[in-house]
Structure 1
Amino acid sequence: RIYIVRESDIVAYNPSTGADRTLSHTDNAEFTEALPVYDGQNLWTGALNGPAFFTPDKKIPGVEIPKIIVTRVLHGTGTDAGTELNPSEITVAGNERHLTVEFAALDYADTGSLRYAYRLDGDTLWHNLGSEGKLKFNRLSPGNHTLYLRSTNSSGHWVNNTRQISLKVEPSFWESWRGTGVILLIILAVTGAAVIVYLQRRDNVRMSEINEQQRRTLEEITRVMHEQAVRAQAAREAEEARAGNTQEPPAPAPQASDYRLESPTIIDEDQEMMQRLLKFLDTRIGDENLKIEELAEAVNMGRTVFYGKIKTLVGMSPSDFLRRLRLQRAQKLIANSRMSFSQIAFAVGFSDPKYFTKCFKKETGMTPSEFRSKNQLSDNDA
């Protein structure tokens, strides 16, 4: 064996086994470069505080293998894992995923030289912890894990003292099959509710579109039939005029209050309803956005009932009846005022003067200019 004196310690080396060991001293001697002396029993060395000596071992031991024990286990709440000393299995609750494990190697020759390392499950490399025998885990995944611990001896050599500890990490409620089932049920319920709401809204939109299309179709049919009737009447009058070789002026259109286009028979209730309707129209005749629903509401009727009542009384749809009254009001304004035709069109509820001129000619057989030239009073007459 060979003793190597260094600045602050002595290393005992066995050349036959390759083992070395650092000898500990209680006096914390700092050695000098003075040559050691062996007196047959003690080995003397020079030190700053005077000579120091020790008795060499007759046999240099090999590499010692200290045992690793677990000294303390702390859960995430800071509570002890239990009273069991050096457990081989640790159970971690689902709501406590933070774990601290404290351990130590039983080698007290020189504890300052001990080093620790660990690895978990399938790790292929050891993670060095230094001289602190403490390991902290944050957010362990649920399941079974194996923790491996190892250390050096007091000489600083890594030795084969690996310690295995089983970690059983319980799943939380949401990580269990019950929690997964609840999550799936919630997802299915939300998805089903969303699908039902979507289908209901889609059906409502489709029904609204169908009803609106039917309404427009009905109004268009009514308008076309009325225009055809007007054209047929105009053709008959033109034919009669050619046959009689006369050019009689067209009969003046009835006034807005004269709603009896085909001399219908009106009972008292109808008379009262029509008076309310005409009174309402007299104040709203210039509103281009006036809707049939508003006319029905003004006489306390639903749209369908109102449509049928007007059709029965005046022989035309509410839309045509409203247009007829507007054109009647326009005739008064053309004959009795000097307003421009565009002003008159806007005043009776037409947003497009060109469309107003077209409708006016269909109604009276004359353009607004021709009608004014024929019917407006002169200044002297006025």
Structure 2
Amino acid sequence: MPTELPAINGVLVVPRLRIQNANAISSPLTWGAPAMSALLGSMQSIERSLGAELGLSFNGVGVICHGYEAQTTEGGYTRAFRLTRNPVNKDGSSASIVEEGRMHLDISLVFGVWGEVVGSDEVTRQRVAQAVADRLAGMRVAGGSVMPAWPRSAGGPTVQQKRPQLLALAPDETNQAPAFRQWRLRWLPGFALVSRDDLLLAHHAKLQATQPDASLLDAWLDLSRLNHHAQRNVSEHPQTGERVETVTWQHDRTAGWIVPIPVGYAALSQLYSPGEVTGTRDHHTPFRFVESVYSLGQWISPHRLSRVTDLLWYADHDPDTGLYRCRNDYRPPLPAQTAAELAFGFPSPFSASLAFTQD
């Protein structure tokens, strides 16, 4: 069974980070914005280095993208990544080129945190938030370098918009809503990444209605592209009365900015003891072979989120199945029919959560 987001009593916002040359290839099948596993790794690194000192537990992270620039060639339908030319070898021959996808990002990170310091005075909370921002400034985030913020004269954010903040959450979700409505407006313009496992489940069921052998991979690939269909229309000519046939092309992408994303890893082997496998990163951590797990995400404007937990991603580990997943508790607005069914006690078809591996 999937876990739930650990308890949080505040959010720590580090706005408008400029990241240069972040990793744009996060899995064997996808490219684009860095995977949430990379940002969860950055969060865990901060907690290990500063958590005990600051008295904070970091339990979730959300990302809002304000701008991006993929390092790809321009022009035409076929694009390629711009690759670096490495120095020549000792014998003067050309060194091999390692194909790496990179992109520049302008993002804001929102951490869900827990600690008594969240209830402190404004000066203390500002000191804690600045310490986290300073730590991030010296880190690699998704393989990219954190650059200094641009000056206001260059069209960048104001000093207020660049200031990190530690904000306290009300104890119940009802009282959190008014404050969150104010916070989310500060993150505009931008788009937040949320999980859409429900779309994958619904589209898989739709495909199986006409193609019983359709797999989750078929549904995922179908939603990862724009599918155009020819629509024939027959009408009468207004003057001659003859039957005229016309063809219009329509695509099936109506659910917003949907993207295929990697959401974690699934075990391919048993868990080996530390040092048992040659060539591992260290000899103190258990090791196992894994493959990528995929699902769907959606980039959505922050002002359309209704609660702070819609934004946050957190780690989930199921030792029985060997699944290491990044999860998000976003709940899309219910269609009118579904809302009526729930009001009368009928189950919703979008209540399940799933993902799949590349097998």
1 or 2, which has the higher strand percentage?
2
TM-score, length-scaled by structure 1: 0.18
1 or 2, which has the higher helix percentage?
1
